[in-house]
Structure 1
Amino acid sequence: MTGAAPEARLVLDCAAQLGESPLWDAQEEALWFVDINGRAIHRYHPQSGAHAVAAVGEDIGCIGLTRGRALVAGMRSGVFLLARDGSVLRKLADNPEDRAWSRFNDGRVDPAGRFLVGTIDEERGGRAGLYRLDRSGLTKLLDGLMTSNGLAFSADGRTLFHADTPRFTVTRYAYDPATGALSDGEVFCRLDRDSTDRARPDGAALDVDGCYWTALYEGSRIQRWSPDGALLAEIPIPARCPTMVAFGGRDLKTLYVTTARAGRPEPELAQTPNAGGLFALDVDVPGRLEPLFDPDL
């Protein structure tokens, strides 16, 4: 980035309980995102200001766009193929963990069209995992996680970034786009768990320079990290809990940020009344369009 830091602006005051998984749809020129606790899928069209909400029947952690104009969704009970009105087309896989404490959380389509999706252990027991979904079903790639988060692929698809949010750590893995195999993990960056605000890495995206943008839950800011793990920028967000970032707009130079308001104390919400809203900022370096999920792969 050059010049002054961009300033985040509220673009949609939707009061999401737990906004997550923003995703730019280039064909519709719209941004999709979910409200996990609100059990809803949102669609926002920046040019017209149109905003539609589709209710779903259970907690919904993430979505991806698919070939065939549907959505792939990680929910509490499993991974589903959904119509764009939120109705279920078919269930693709069960959640292999105990739904009393586990639901699907962050997800991302890989360069070949598979869906990578992780879970959250809501009891903080370190039993969550990261999975790959293709026509053979779910394959576990990582286990022993607390909250699987922050998925992002390099431009060549050979590097996967992944955060375990309560451990304040982002790890970089070698990834084989041909097979979907994961290997050779190394720490990419680690936040200070002893910081006053306990800001920790949540959802993420990469720009075309290979820099990793991450939302800091409880940190009231987002960060940009260089490909070699150096902190390049911090930008404040007028909500205590930013949850995820996504590039959008025709030139992919608008960075959207979802936020949360669920469980936040009333004095905090009085100071940040737009918590749960969708924010945006203009950036110099664009992002990339996300691949489409292929349910027949």
Structure 2
Amino acid sequence: MDNGVSVFSDHICQLGEGPSYDPTTDNLFWFDIVNGLLLEKGVASGAQKIHALGLMASAIAIIDDQRQLIATETGLHIRDVATGRLTLHTPIEADNPLTRSNDSRVHPCGAFWVGTMGKGEEKGAGSIYWFFKGELRRLYSDITVSNSICFSEDGTVAYYTDTGTGLLMRVACDPATGLPAGEPKVFVDHRSAKGYVDGSVVDRDGVLWNAVWGGKAVKAYAPDGTLLREVSMPVTQPSCPAFVGAKADRLAVTSAWKGKDDKQRKLDPQAGMTFLIDVPVNGRFEPRVLIA
């Protein structure tokens, strides 16, 4: 394929999301949200495993070598790496069967920003939460599709979007706690462009890499919001990027076929696969999450 894009995993996810790389094992983890699957594949080894979770989940963070924290439709679960056993740690909207977790990411200080949304994308049904050392707070409410949660390397800036608005937001952050330290401002106005702002990551240079759902692209924005480059993708609905590899210098990107009928899927045969992009990227590893 052009632009240095290749297939990383040909497992077709209905809604591939939430990729996260573990540098200690060289494994990429990601989710097929609606089917309750956690996928795991070695970047160098190519060995792939599929774990059935039994509930919708969308994001994973590393606690330590034995445990992971997974954002699910009922809240934050601790996953035992050896056995796959899930234990509910902190309920989030567990009493609301209409919502589920969505885009979530760890702040450099170890706090976890966790987005929720309606399972049917009901207007304003979701929120964005802050979780740190056992404490949970709601940061933003009335969110329809929470996305693009990511942070600058020094922890002073957070980004997020409510996808349908077409506005990627930027807010100052307390680097010690990961809490917002001001009012959100528009970072990128994507309303006149093709597709929607989905998942994002920020590299060491402060460049934000965004998957454009419906836009067949991954876009890179400078810290001032200037569009630096656009990588064409072989699928219509790329959903979220993650830095991978021993030097975090490659991008993995999930995708989805959700919302497509049989005819549309035939025109988009790789929809739901996960891809590698080999473009020069100064990536970084995800911080570990602090649960206590």
TM range (shorter): over 0.9
Deviation at 1:52, TM superposition (A): 0.5
Counterpart amino acid of 1:247? Answer: F
Q: Distance between the aligned counterparts of 1:218 and 1:6, measured in 2? A: 18
Q: Percentage identity across aligned positions?
A: 30
Deviation per residue, 1:21-68 (Å, 9 max, x gap): 111111111111111012111111122210001110111121111124
Q: Give the alignment of 1:103-252 within 5 angstroms.
A: 103-121=100-118, 122-182=120-180, 183-192=182-191, 199-252=195-248
Instruction: Tell me the SS of whatever aligns to 1:37.
Output: helix
Letter in 2 for 1:143: S
- Between the aligned partners of 1:164 and 1:46, the Cα distance in structure 2 is 31
Q: How many corresponding residue pairs? A: 289
What SS is found at the alignment partner of 1:162? strand
**Superposed displacement of residue 186, structure 1:** 0.6
| Alpha-carbon separation, structure 2, partners of 1:240 and 1:262 | 11
* C-alpha distance in structure 1 between counterparts of 2:65 and 2:11, whole Å: 28
Q: Helix, strand or coil for the counterpart of 1:267? A: helix
Gaps of 5+ in 2: none
Contact 2:255 2:274 in 1 (8 A): yes
| Alpha-carbon distance in structure 2 between the residues aligned to 1:247 and 1:181 | 24
Q: SS at 1:181's partner residue?
A: coil
Correspondence for 2:24:
27
Give the C-alpha shift of residue 86 in structure 1: 7.2
> How far is the alpha carbon of 1:92 from its aligned partner?
1.8
- Taking structure 2 as the reference length, the TM-score comes to 0.93
What's the CA shift for 1:112?
1.7
Per-residue CA deviations over 1:201-243 (Å, capped at 9, x if unaligned) read: 1111112211111111111111111110111111111111110
Contact 2:155/2:178 (<8 A) preserved: no
- Change in Cα spacing, 1:36 to 1:85, as seen in structure 2 (3 Å) is farther
> Residues of 2 paired with 1:255 and 1:248: CA distance?
6
CA distance in 1, matches of 2:10, 2:59: 20
Residue 78 of structure 2 corresponds to: 81
Task: Please say which of residues 113-122 and 94-103 is displaced more in the overlay.
Answer: 94-103
Question: Unaligned regions of 5+ residues in structure 1, if any?
Answer: none
Does structure 1 conserve the Cα–Cα contact (< 8 Å) formed by 2:73 and 2:94? Answer: no
The code of the aligned residue for 2:45 comes to S
One-letter amino acid of the structure 2 residue matched with residue 112 of structure 1: C
Q: TM-score, normalised by structure 1?
A: 0.92
Give every structure 1 segment of 4 or more consecutive aligned residues whose post-TM-superposition deviation is greater than 3 Å: 85-89
Aligned to 1:101: 98
What displacement does 1:133 show?
1.2
Change (3 A) 1:210 1:86: farther
